[in-house]
Each structure stands twice: as C-alpha cells, then as structure tokens.
Structure 1
Amino acid sequence: MGGEVTVWMDAPPSEIWDLVSDVTRIGEFSPETFEARWTRGSTGPEVGAFFKGHVKRNGVGPTYWSLCRITRCEPEKVFEFAVGTEEMNVNNWGYRLEARDGGTAVTEYFRLGSNLPTRIYWLALGWSRGRTNRTGMRTTLERMKAVVES
C-alpha cells in the first residue's frame, strides 16, 4: 500500500537536501500541499520535529491542515515524515537521495498506515489515489529538478 517515483537530478545530494527537508518550501513544488509551517516549537528538520501541511487534495476542493512528524532525517540521504497523530498514522512520505555518476537519483515515496480505515479506503479507491500520488510525486520532483539544475 504505497508507491514511489524516482527522478535523476544533475546535482549532488548536498544541493538537493534543502529542497526536500525544508518543509516551508513544499508549496513551490507540490501540486497538492501548497504551504507548510513548523509547529510545536520545531524550527527545522530533525527526528521528532512537527510541522503542518496545508493541503488541497488533487489541487481542487476544500483545504485542510495535516499534522506531520519527522520520523527519519539523515542529511543528504533520507527525509521521511508521518502524517496524522501518534495514535493514527495515516501515511508516511519520504525522499531518498542516492548519489551516483555525478548526480543524484531522488526518490519520493509514500506508504499507507496500517489502521483499518486507511486499509478500507485503499481497497476501495487505492487504484485511483495511487495514480494521483505518482503523478503528484513526479510533478514535485520535476519542479525540484528545475530549481536545482537552473
């Protein structure tokens, strides 16, 4: 119950890291999350830091805020966060950066939580949501690529 998209960027991980780990910049790249801000005293990327993402699902309709908590933060390698509360993890999103051949393979991925409502949703609409997520991840990564390669 998840998916991933990888885009090659002609830049080292050190030049890409801030684009994936500074959540306040997500509005520049994501077709769904148009802004984010650090919350609960957090000021930057580290395991346990909290932020809120302001989302417009599929780029249309009503907006809502999602609480997120960083679960992995290995500079220039992995940045991952959980969406939802500590009691109900809806899903996890992340980025993996793999340096090779003078550039970086950047992978954005998602993995759904294991709670029953999420599983039912995925069984009913997963085919559609998975496609939308893959399209959105590709858009996000292509926008990051344009910034880092300009």
Structure 2
Amino acid sequence: MIEPSASARTVVDASPDVVYALVSDPPKMSELTEELDRATWLGGVGEAAVGARFRGHNRRAWRRWSTTATVTDAEPGRRFAFEVSSFAGIPVSRWQYDIVAAGVGCVVEERTWDRRPAWFRPFANLVTGVRDRADQNQRNMEHTLARLKSAVEAARG
C-alpha cells in the first residue's frame, strides 16, 4: 500500500481492547472528531465487522456532507479500518487505526489515504471548504487522538 496522505499517533494509558472498543464505534467516535458530526450504522448492524457499513454525516462550519463507509478490517485490540465513498460510489478515502500494546497501555496510530479521483477533487474541495485535504486531515487527527486519549484515560478514573 502507498504511504498515507496523513497520519498521527499517541500513547494511551489503557489496554488495546479498550481503545479498539472506542475507535471501532463510529457513532461514539463522532463525539471526538473534528469533521464527523454523527455516524449511523446501516442495514441493521450495530457493531464493527468486515463488510458492515455506516453513514457519516460530516460538518465544517456551515458546510455539511454525507459519506458511506464500509469496514474492511475489524481485528479487536489491533486494527479498525474502513473505506469511504461519496454519492454514486465514488471512492474518497481509507481510514485506519492500528493499536499496539506498549507497556501498561498502547500506541494508537490513525492514518488516512486520499482515494479521490483527480477529476472529483475540485468538487469535493468546494463541498467541504478544504483546499489542502492532507494538511487538514493531519490537524484533525492530532485533535481526535488527543480527545481519544483524554476520554479513555478519564474513564479509567
């Protein structure tokens, strides 16, 4: 696989299973992310499994758009990943969380790959209001992982 267009990592003082339970729950993760405002599982599914799909309702300031994601990797305590597409099935991105045990906690790495066709990028930039998607995703990931770390560690008490 080619290099990701953006990535970030953090160390979390919690087990890989605890972190996986959060990152593999898109409705819950929407509370921690910059652009994902809300997520809903599709087709009667309620948890992560390869092939499961969810709709992402995204927001940046006054701009709003929706995407559909299909889970490609669901390995408890290790990896959660999904492919995102826009209307008409146009590929948008791949998002992946890798979790590795480290001491009493774990390292969480979030990565994304931009999969948008060149002809689709100007339209997507207009809809989202983002000209440099890689840079924006990098900043978004750093904020998301900081919130994830805080949420998981606060829950441990």
Aligned length: 146
Asked if 1:5 is matched to 2:40, the reply is no
Gaps of 5+ in 2: 125-129
Name the CA distance, whole Å, in 1 between partners of 2:16 and 2:109.
12
Evaluate the alpha carbon distance shift between residue 87 and residue 55 of structure 1 in structure 2; reply closer, same or farther with a 3 A threshold: closer
Cα shift at 1:73: 0.9
Pick from 93, 99, 114 the counterpart of residue 97 of structure 1. 99
Residue-by-residue CA offset, 1:80-138 (whole Å, 9 max, x unaligned):
0011169532110110001112211101110121634357789xxx9822111111001
- Structure 1 position 40, deviation (Å): 2.2
Equivalent position amino acid for 1:24 in 2: P
Cα RMSD (Å): 2.3
Q: Distance in 2 between matches of 1:138 and 1:23?
A: 17
C-alpha distance in structure 2 between counterparts of 1:27 and 1:34, whole Å: 6
**TM-score normalised over the length of structure 1:** 0.86
Task: Give the TM-score taking structure 2 as reference length.
Answer: 0.83
Query: Letter of the aligned partner of 2:71 in structure 1?
Result: I
Provide the residue aligned with 2:114 in structure 1. Answer: 112
Aligned to 1:41: 44
Partner Cα separation in structure 1 for residue 12 and residue 27 of structure 2: 21
Structure 1 stretches of at least 4 aligned residues deviating more than 3 Å after TM superposition: 118-122
Give the aligned partner of residue 150 of structure 2. Answer: 146
Gapped regions of structure 1 (runs ≥ 5): none
Q: Once the two structures are aligned, what percentage of the paired residues are identical? A: 28
Matches within 5 A, 1:23-62: 23-56=26-59, 59-62=60-63
